[in-house]
Amino acid sequence: MQSLRIPAFAKVNLCLDILARRSDGYHELRTIFQAISLHDTLELSLTRKPGILLECNDPSLPLGRENLVWRALDAMRRALRLRSGIRAALHKRIPAGRGLGGGSSDAAAALIGLLRLTGRRFPAPRLLAIASRLGADVPFFLGGGRALGVGRGDEIYPLPDLPRRAVLVVSPAVLAVPTRDAYAWVSSTLTDRRPASKISSFCALCWSPQWSALSNGFEKAVFARHPRLRTIKRKLLQGGAAEAALAGSGSAVFGVFPDPAQARRTARWFPDDRVFAVRTLSRKEYLRALGWPGVF
């Protein structure tokens, strides 16, 4: 029986600008993704018994069609016209529902892993289309590193890697922010157009060779409803973070540190939360870890 293990890395958003509500019900975004070394692990095997069997160490996650890994494997199995069955074992470490992209990354790892396992070639445009249908963040995880996301966040343009930095992720133990709620909170404040200076500033950040100020369009609305997240951000900055921001729509908050030792010391300031002292990943490191050439 063939099998392989593949990591599924988390992400943070260095900038996230919510421009307007689209006619399809989604929101128009401009964001800069950055892969970090925190990861889940997915083990895949081909079996003689047809169907998809998914196992997971997190009992709170569904194991059928509601799970993105299951849906990714099903979509790729159909696209490849596989007759064999698939056994998948997912070991979760990325906290679910915290804005770190764990589910989307797991789905991308499932797509990549099944292609590696079968040794099959697949056109990049078709793979990206499958990824986009699974979720807006999934296409980013086919390439990793640092990248610009536009549209729903699913139209990806690779950006030059920045110098490696330590990242401290603080995941509140019990506080979750549903993505649907976060978008509802900011929708009432949106206009159809943003000032040209805002877009110009965002573009400048894309091509800056240095770490610049982090920003997240969800922060004002999310922090107003969950003040503790603002407190976490303030403590990260007090602990020596050069920058700090909400991760995606939350509820995790992360700080970027020039010194890994400082990040580890600051982690002790959050005894009641899950903390992860990790680092940024370049695109080359990311793709090497996945054993994958990428699609961009």
> What tens digit of pLDDT does each residue of 78-136 get?
999 999 999 999 999 999 989 999 999 999 999 999 999 999 989 999 999 999 999 99
The CATH code that applies to domain 3-159 is 3.30.230.10
Band the pLDDT of 208: cuts 50, 70, 90. Answer: low
Choose the catalytic residue: 40, 137, 154, 161.
Answer: 137
Q: Assess contact for 211 and 243: CB atoms under 8 A.
A: yes
Between β-strands 215-216 and 3-21, what pairing exists: parallel, antiparallel or unpaired? parallel
- CATH homologous superfamily, domain 166-279: GHMP kinase, C-terminal domain (3.30.70.890)
Between β-strands 52-56 and 27-47, what pairing exists: parallel, antiparallel or unpaired? unpaired
As a whole number, the mean pLDDT across the chain is 91
Q: Which residues of 152-164 are buried (b: 16+ CB within 10 A; e: fewer)?
A: bbbebebbebbee
Rounded mean pLDDT, 262-290: 97
Is the pLDDT at 202 greater than 80? The verdict is no
Band the pLDDT of 216: cuts 50, 70, 90. Answer: very high
Band the pLDDT of 196: cuts 50, 70, 90. Answer: very low
d(CA 218, CA 189): 11
> Helices marked H in 33-147 — which ranges?
68-80, 102-118, 124-134
d(CA 99, CA 249): 5
11 is catalytic: yes
Choose the catalytic residue: 11, 17, 106, 273.
Answer: 11
92 is catalytic: no
Band the pLDDT of 236: cuts 50, 70, 90. Answer: very high
The residues spanned by each domain of the chain are 3-159, 166-279
∠ CA 289-43-175, rounded to 5°:
85
